[in-house]
Amino acid sequence: MKTGRIIRSLAGYYDLMLEDGTVERTRARGQFRKNGQKPLVGDWADFESENGEGLIWALHERENSLVRPPMANVDLAIVVTSVVEPAFSQNLLDRQLVALEAEKVHPVLYFSKLDLLSEKEQADFKEKVRLYEKIGYPVVFAGDDLKTAFTPLLKDQVVVAMGQTGAGKSTLLNQLAPELKLTVGEVSQALSRGKHTTRQVSLIPVPAYQTLIADTPGFSSYEVFDFPVEELGDYFPEIREAAVNCRFRTCSHLNEPGCAVKEAVELGTISTERYNSYELFYQIIKGKRPVYQKNATKWKQDRLN
């Protein structure tokens, strides 16, 4: 029996990388399907192989798993967010951060396409998203020294680059590791969406960082909240910190008296925008989905005014 990490899944086959760097192609036993299990890229698996044919017998326990992108055992996620084309959406960014917090995956935020803004617009945008640095998330902007910014974060990690279609994930990874030679697509002006240039999840060894990096298919929406609504506040670090001072231990941070979170919002120590995301997500999880207009974000509207 051998053990390896799944680095690629394609058409029912799974490529596993062994400790010595060799890769073997396998299939999964039918028992996985019967048990409702599905191997994911990033999984550690025990398998047997004979005459070039491999069969996965068992999956190791996962440290974490993501639904979008479908991956397991992720250490770090580079959340690639475009400032324009496609338009910046704080709501979408916050959804991704909540999903990562829920799985204890460390995020680093990368904001792309700043060169499409004027100098004043760049300064305004950077000020707008400084709140994420205050929360404690590493923030990198297009135009920064990427090697200096990312090298200490990526070393010895399993890394996934995730984000909206057309946000620039493949472009970023090509800058960090030119040997990847990932295909880069253009954004459709009619739909303000990128063309899907990445169609599968693959973990690629990058010796310069001693890491495995995954480029993943993009998406246009992100609605993954697979946890009880009572846990939501735990996945907003600033709300989690303030909530210890709430009058009631079961405070939902919506209408209760003595809510330290609501007080922090009024004082400005928790941003109104982040609290609005919390309130919206709470309603979604409870099943009281409000009508949400997918118009341009306020940031884009401000640019047009």
Is 253 known to sit in a ligand binding site? yes
Task: Could you list the beta-strand ranges (E) of 147-228.
Answer: 158-163, 187-188, 193-194, 202-206, 211-215
Is residue 22 annotated as involved in ligand binding? no
Using DSSP, how many helices (H) and how many strands (E) does the chain show?
A: 10, 15
233 labeled part of a ligand binding site: no
**Is 286 marked as binding a ligand?**
no
Q: Find where tokens 């992720």 sit.
A: 74
Cα dist from 99 to 30, 183, 209, 215, 228, whole Å = 30, 27, 26, 18, 13
Query: One-letter amino acid identity for 204?
Result: I
Q: Any known ligand binding at 171?
A: yes
Is residue 164 a known part of a binding site? yes
165 is in an annotated binding site: yes
Instruction: Classify the C-alpha dihedral 223-138-105-43 as positive or negative.
Output: positive
170 is in an annotated binding site: yes
Locate 219 and state its tokens.
């998406």
Q: CA nearest 237: which of 267, 264, 256, 266?
A: 264
Q: Is 113 annotated as a binding residue?
A: yes
Is 194 annotated as belonging to a binding site? no
163 is in an annotated binding site: yes
65 is in an annotated binding site: no
User: Annotated binding residues, as ranges?
Assistant: 112-115, 163-171, 246, 251, 253, 259
User: Annotated binding residues for GTP, as ranges?
Assistant: 112-115, 163-171
User: Annotated binding residues for Zn(2+), as ranges?
Assistant: 246, 251, 253, 259
